[in-house]
Amino acid sequence: MARRIPRVGIGGPVGSGKTRLIEQLVPALTRKGYRCCIISNDVVSKEDAQRMQRILATEAKLMPENMIIGIATGGCPHTAVREDPSINLAVIDEIEHKDPTLDLIIIESGGDNTMTTFSSELADYFIYIVDVAGGDKYPRKRGLGIESCDLLVINKIDLAPHVGADLSVMARDAKAVRPGKPVEFVNCRTGDGVERVADHLAEGLLFDKPVSQKRRKAARRG
Ligand SMILES: Nc1nc2c(ncn2[C@@H]2O[C@H](COP(=O)(O)OP(=O)(O)OP(=O)(O)O)[C@@H](O)[C@H]2O)c(=O)[nH]1
Ligand SMILES: [Mg+2]
């Protein structure tokens, strides 16, 4: 049996910044020595996967293009990552056989409502991302995603003054609805705060041990 590569699921409402977060997260994780693969789910298109292939593979050369896979789920976005994750699991099975030394598989869910969660069969760590443009009421209005995720990411903080969102209210409410669980404020256009998201992954899922790096060093030693 192939080794189970750690997996992080990223969910959130349509347009909250899931793809931009991955575009910033992969360089941050690469700097820490981790090698990643991406699966991007969407309902009908593969636009996000194609964008990331261009930005992360062709331009930044951080990973091979075939390590960024688009899935057009053709139905309800959370079904493909929770009720019936079989398409995603089949793709992961292929990846685990192709390159078992990868450190992390990042799975983007299609944009959905506030009730998105991932099947534990599919993801080991769950990031839920919302943006401030929906208003500072978001955290206190709750929802399965916000309450159950391992890390809540609040994106587009640059837009807060333009939409009258008070970040301190969001921080206070997030703390109240997710006692003891982390929240990070980020700007995924500039990358501000994304290093801290990478730190959470390193500490909470990858345990600061880049498997690929250790194996590469061992291979060099002979
Ligand atoms: N101003 C600002 N815009 C952002 C930020 N993050 C993302 N965006 C913009 O928001 C839009 C949506 O971002 P995406 O990353 O595509 O969002 P998504 O959640 O992947 O969207 P779907 O996959 O379609 O649900 C894009 O036009 C981004 O450029 C941010 O921090 N600030
Ligand atoms: Mg996207």
CA of 3 to the centre of ligand 1 (A): 33
* Whether residue 115 has pLDDT greater than 90: no
- The pTM score is 0.94
**Is the C-beta atom of 41 inside 6 A of ligand 1?**
no
* Angstrom distances, CA of residue 164 to CA of 35, 90, 145, 167: 39, 44, 24, 9
**Is the C-beta atom of 40 inside 6 A of ligand 1?**
no
Distance CA 8, CA 52 (A): 17
Residue 211: band (very low, low, confident or very high) from pLDDT cuts 50, 70, 90: low
Residue nearest to atom 23 of ligand 1 (CA): 111
Query: Do residues 38 and 133 touch, judged by C-beta distance below 8 A?
Result: no
CA of 41 to the centre of ligand 1 (A): 15
What pLDDT score was predicted for residue 29? 97
What pLDDT score was predicted for residue 139? 95
**Is the C-beta atom of 163 inside 6 A of ligand 1?**
no
Residue nearest to atom 15 of ligand 1 (CA): 17
**Is the C-beta atom of 189 inside 6 A of ligand 1?**
yes
Nearest to 28 by CA among 211, 193, 194, 202: 194
The mean pLDDT value of the chain amounts to: 93
**Is the C-beta atom of 14 inside 6 A of ligand 1?**
yes
Fold of 7-221: Rossmann fold (3.40.50)
* Whether residue 161 has pLDDT greater than 60: yes
Atom of ligand 1 nearest to the CA of 129: 19
CA of 18 to the centre of ligand 2 (A): 5
* Whether residue 220 has pLDDT greater than 60: no
Question: What are the pLDDT digits (tens) for 62-85?
Answer: 999 999 999 999 888 889 999 999
Joined tokens for residue 96: 């685990």
